[in-house]
Chains A and B, each alone.
Chain A
């Protein structure tokens, strides 16, 4: 049985925010964003905009009845600018009109009176000026200074990784519907319904119970709708509240790209100490995270960078320092990997550097230093498996890495214009929110009298297949076909105080909660069946839609049992709560068991470079991935393949360009993501003999594969070096064709 969503998608029947039936009298909102990166906001000239036919209202900070504040981790983000603007595109006013066109014309007619101030756009400059969002953090173990002082080889350098636009195909949006008694219902394209609910209640000065946030599905999220769906829902909510009318706010692609944050750009300094044999003895890294103008999720992203500072390697002496630098750019935010990819790039770059100094292939240093059972991460968390080594070795054997390297060397010797390159990329990624309290979920399960089942959880479906996994988990508990289980929309009225669907944990947490609720009902049903059949409750099982006793069939179907239980006044509903056991991370001491477990994997990436033009193809990515005992390998495969291509995009063609705080790559004409012709061929293999923790859904699979994409960068670097170019300067991603050609020509500034 296939999950239900794909069928709706192909029939064109899936409903997204902008597809909802429009209630009579619905108004459209559009947002006027600051035209400058930093300044004092003196006022807004609304006269021309008001004169535009169809414009109903122009809302500013003065129209906020409650708190003009939507910051999640840190309360530093006004919904609408008040007195100051801090980035280009920062919402200043919300124009509400009778049509989308009129709203946009109203926005175009607004002018703001702003005294412009100098802007800061580089994280190192912000750090120098002391513009930090939180105090800098350090995670350390061993004695890194002593180890660096005595290491046979020490390499020091800097790296830089660029931003990345989420490019969820459905732009941000929300529809706010006033209901009776001052209640507001908001259909939002958000990964975090509770965050939206809390923010809207705060903005309006009402109770959270006065606001229901309902999410059917997202047309893609990737982290971009974890914190950053909130402003648009809150603005629609504010407008609906003030005007007592339904209000829809759906961002145009260009507004979405200009106004919302993306993956954090990072600068980093590193010092890597090794023995003469290539064993890592010391690792010091300092991250300068470009956080943008407000905190958003940046402190948590930085925390994950620190927790992944050692990437896939076991290192005894470590000092990782993180600076969360405030700049005049849109607040950078969660994006698949959440600081992990940025951290891994630095250590992989340092290994590249060390390999050049030692005169060995980078893969040799990678393999020598992979983390294994017994290693302890700088935060104190022990590594509990050898899967880093096992996936690495399986890639080498299964995909013939040695033979491939020989083949590539022969190709490169025989060809002048085209050069091939390959690289291995191991991934070790921690699963859990590092903010420990977020690792909880609840579910509400109803069994109806006809035996059909409805499940509500806090998980948001955005294409990752979480609904199908929950559906399979619940169906498994009741022993019925998946099709008997429907996943309801994600509503704050049915699942309260939910964590965002993020950190790859949506299925882990919510399927566990749903299975737990289902088990409570199943237990009651079994008890009832035991009474009916006159046997021990332990003898009863539910399978294939029927009731068995002591392994033998009975005349009782699941439906019949449900009906009988109902007439016997047995509750057919249950609500359950799940909290991931065994994790606790202490920010005060920077130590603890931050993760429930780690996901491991290794990828081999092969590329071909045109040495004349600097263009290239990413030919193939072959990986061995550790997914545990998954119920839905088909879904997992889709996550791996999709993650790889997104990661390759981040490392190659996806270039976010700001000039003086203005986004120059603000549409799909100027920001390119991989298309079908750019996507590599992919071989996805699973780790043989996985030893997964006992979770109903297998290991989390959303984020880890993205980091395989980093291999594309180093494979390209190898191909460039096959042209006789040293490429020994600072490593900076993405490797656009421009960067590749300038490297080839020795023309990088």
Chain B
């Protein structure tokens, strides 16, 4: 059915260059298991939620290889062109000589039914390869995108602890391959990968969007909706269109729309706006997803419950739309016009996000509550940006998700806070106003009653976090 534009795609799969002709939105998982008949990588959910299909994706950047663990079910094959894909087969462990990760999992019985195990092996290998610090906390976070239904995780954590102990000290992230080759955590061919990639053709760049083309920026939600929606269209990938640079331009922070959530979450220029971003990032998604999800996708996907978009709304971000007639800019809080509706004209794409310099170095708080704390979609999320002068509020911006058809900037509440004293009465009022400004519906993420109350409580929590005002406590 996908008589749509296919592409020749070349990449390195484990130790060899491979080529296939495919629609660029074809999930990488299907190419691995189907076209290349490598069955170690498992399909557990096809929505990035179980991690059984985790593979490593390596990219040459400034002469260095940068690897990341990703869920291959949500990676459009077009995005791996020119990159290195590593599956369990590519680790080249054997029964006589398993890799240290494999050996540790066996020793601790960190595998029972085995179906999640290839994903766990890859996540832990990715941890050794990419974690800035090799400690138990980082190992746990690296595994936060992998569901194991059998073990209760305890033996997997024991295996991780053993690996952490074995691999101290380890070289800096930029130069870790040789050390891991030496411990056989990685096979020797890893040192030859940059050479293999250098010989692959460069990626195409689009300057215009052909009519009828869907833009896919990361696909961590679009592929969850099922690949057919994409395979029946011509698509352009974010990497074909947008930059992913994060840079200062005239004092403002300009974020290329292709930037991933993970890149932004740890970028010093963004941390100047949201110092707690690494902690918030954990709530937003697993590392596998954050490595793929883009800001542009989070905004244009127009989900009323996007996490990053809520934060950007509170931060007063502007967006830049590139179209046939050039670039235009607008405040993000005017972009979403209704459920999955937005002010996006034919041929336009979201090219960048601009954070005005004045928004920096104020206080920002983000809250998200979901059934499961991590890697879940919020029942309600919210963010508060606030500028104070002593005990008085100078300016505030409150945004909330899951409580309206759009990611909601709570304009009335935000305006009402201006000039108010920082005290319990103000906090209480903010909670009341916020509840009055939203229209939550009952769904699988919670009843309307709950969401309304939860929003109020999150408003209280923002003020507690930022100013230790204890409103709403027993």
Q: Which residues of A contact B153 (CB under 8 A)?
A: 641, 645, 674-676, 679
On whether A169 and B52 interact (CB within 8 A), knowing A464-B112, A675-B144, the answer reads: yes
Partner of B46, one of A10, A252, A613, A643: A252
Q: Which residues of B contact A222 (CB under 8 A)?
A: 149
> A2 touching B372 by the CB < 8 A rule?
no
State in angstroms the CA–CA spacing of A19 and B454 once bound together.
Answer: 45
> B150 touching A638 by the CB < 8 A rule?
yes
> A638 touching B115 by the CB < 8 A rule?
no
Among residues of A, the one whose C-beta sits closest to the C-beta of B451 is A738
On whether A638 and B98 interact (CB within 8 A), knowing A12-B118, A613-B458, the answer reads: no
Query: Could you name 13 residue pairs across A and B whose Cβ atoms are closer than 8 Å?
Result: A10-B88, A13-B40, A253-B46, A417-B470, A419-B474, A613-B461, A614-B454, A617-B373, A668-B147, A673-B147, A676-B156, A724-B474, A741-B457
From residue B289, how far is it (CB to closest CB) to chain A in Å?
11
> B464 touching A6 by the CB < 8 A rule?
no
On whether A10 and B106 interact (CB within 8 A), knowing A672-B372, A724-B474, the answer reads: yes
State in angstroms the CA–CA spacing of A303 and B351 once bound together.
Answer: 63
Task: Please give me the 5 A-B residue pairs with the lowest Cβ-Cβ distance, nearest first.
Answer: A12-B40, A463-B113, A219-B115, A9-B114, A463-B112
Question: Which residues of A line the B interface, CB within 8 A?
Answer: 2, 5-16, 18-19, 53, 101, 105, 166-170, 217-222, 252-253, 416-417, 419, 462-465, 611-615, 617, 634-635, 637-638, 641-646, 653, 655, 657, 664-665, 667-670, 672-679, 682, 723-725, 736-738, 741-742, 744-745, 747
Q: Which residues of B contact A465 (CB under 8 A)?
A: 112
> B93 touching A612 by the CB < 8 A rule?
no
Among residues of B, the one whose C-beta sits closest to the C-beta of A744 is B474
Asked whether any CB of chain A lies closer than 8 Å to the CB of B374, the reply is: yes
> B114 touching A672 by the CB < 8 A rule?
no
> B154 touching A2 by the CB < 8 A rule?
no
Partner of A668, one of B50, B110, B152: B50
Partner of B39, one of A19, A462, A464: A19
Kindly specify which of B322-330, B354-362, B383-391, B440-448 makes contact with the partner chain: B440-448
Among residues of B, the one whose C-beta sits closest to the C-beta of A674 is B372
Among residues of B, the one whose C-beta sits closest to the C-beta of A8 is B114
State in angstroms the CA–CA spacing of A15 and B42 once bound together.
Answer: 10
Partner of B444, one of A612, A664, A742: A664
State in angstroms the CA–CA spacing of A464 and B111 once bound together.
Answer: 10
Asked whether any CB of chain A lies closer than 8 Å to the CB of B44, the reply is: yes
State in angstroms the CA–CA spacing of A417 and B151 once bound together.
Answer: 32
Partner of A642, one of B105, B151, B228: B151
In this complex, the interface size class of chain B, counting residues with CB under 8 Å from chain A, is 35 or more
Partner of B113, one of A220, A664, A725: A220
State in angstroms the CA–CA spacing of A220 and B446 once bound together.
Answer: 29
Asked whether any CB of chain A lies closer than 8 Å to the CB of B135, the reply is: no
From residue B337, how far is it (CB to closest CB) to chain A in Å?
25
Partner of A737, one of B141, B379, B464: B379
Q: Which residues of A contact B107 (CB under 8 A)?
A: 2
> B474 touching A416 by the CB < 8 A rule?
yes
Q: List B residues 24-65 near A (Cβ within 8 Å).
A: 39-47, 49-50, 52
Asked whether any CB of chain A lies closer than 8 Å to the CB of B102, the reply is: yes
On whether A10 and B105 interact (CB within 8 A), knowing A169-B52, A169-B147, the answer reads: yes
State in angstroms the CA–CA spacing of A539 and B149 once bound together.
Answer: 48
From residue A104, how far is it (CB to closest CB) to chain B in Å?
8
Q: Which residues of B contact A645 (CB under 8 A)?
A: 152-153
State in angstroms the CA–CA spacing of A14 and B106 once bound together.
Answer: 14
Q: List B residues 356-411 near A (Cβ within 8 Å).
A: 367, 369-377, 379
Partner of A638, one of B112, B444, B453: B112
From residue B340, how far is it (CB to closest CB) to chain A in Å?
17
Per DSSP, chain A at the interface is loop
> A612 touching B461 by the CB < 8 A rule?
yes
State in angstroms the CA–CA spacing of A5 and B45 once bound together.
Answer: 23
Partner of A614, one of B95, B140, B445, B457: B457
State in angstroms the CA–CA spacing of A5 and B115 once bound together.
Answer: 11
> A613 touching B95 by the CB < 8 A rule?
no
On whether A682 and B454 interact (CB within 8 A), knowing A10-B93, A667-B45, the answer reads: no
Q: Which residues of A contact B149 (CB under 8 A)?
A: 166-169, 220, 222, 642, 646, 673
> A18 touching B87 by the CB < 8 A rule?
no
> A6 touching B454 by the CB < 8 A rule?
no
Asked whether any CB of chain A lies closer than 8 Å to the CB of B204, the reply is: no
> A253 touching B47 by the CB < 8 A rule?
yes
State in angstroms the CA–CA spacing of A741 and B371 once bound together.
Answer: 12
Asked whether any CB of chain A lies closer than 8 Å to the CB of B182, the reply is: no
On whether A16 and B115 interact (CB within 8 A), knowing A612-B460, A655-B371, A669-B377, the answer reads: yes
Asked whether any CB of chain A lies closer than 8 Å to the CB of B121, the reply is: yes
> B147 touching A675 by the CB < 8 A rule?
yes
Among residues of B, the one whose C-beta sits closest to the C-beta of A745 is B453
Asked whether any CB of chain A lies closer than 8 Å to the CB of B155, the reply is: yes
Most chain A beta-carbon neighbours within 10 Å: one of B42, B101, B149, B377: B149
State in angstroms the CA–CA spacing of A58 and B43 once bound together.
Answer: 26
Q: Which residues of A contact B150 (CB under 8 A)?
A: 220, 463, 638, 642
State in angstroms the CA–CA spacing of A724 and B372 once bound together.
Answer: 25
> B152 touching A653 by the CB < 8 A rule?
no
From residue B105, how far is it (CB to closest CB) to chain A in Å?
5
From residue A459, how far is it (CB to closest CB) to chain B in Å?
14
> A11 touching B457 by the CB < 8 A rule?
no
Asked whether any CB of chain A lies closer than 8 Å to the CB of B211, the reply is: no
On whether A6 and B474 interact (CB within 8 A), knowing A170-B113, A676-B153, the answer reads: no
Q: Which residues of A contact B109 (CB under 8 A)?
A: 2, 6, 634-635, 637-638
State in angstroms the CA–CA spacing of A359 and B331 once bound together.
Answer: 59
On whether A612 and B464 interact (CB within 8 A), knowing A678-B374, A679-B154, the answer reads: yes
> A678 touching B464 by the CB < 8 A rule?
no
State in angstroms the CA–CA spacing of A672 and B379 once bound together.
Answer: 13
State in angstroms the CA–CA spacing of A11 and B121 once bound together.
Answer: 9
Q: Which residues of A contact B144 (CB under 8 A)?
A: 675-677
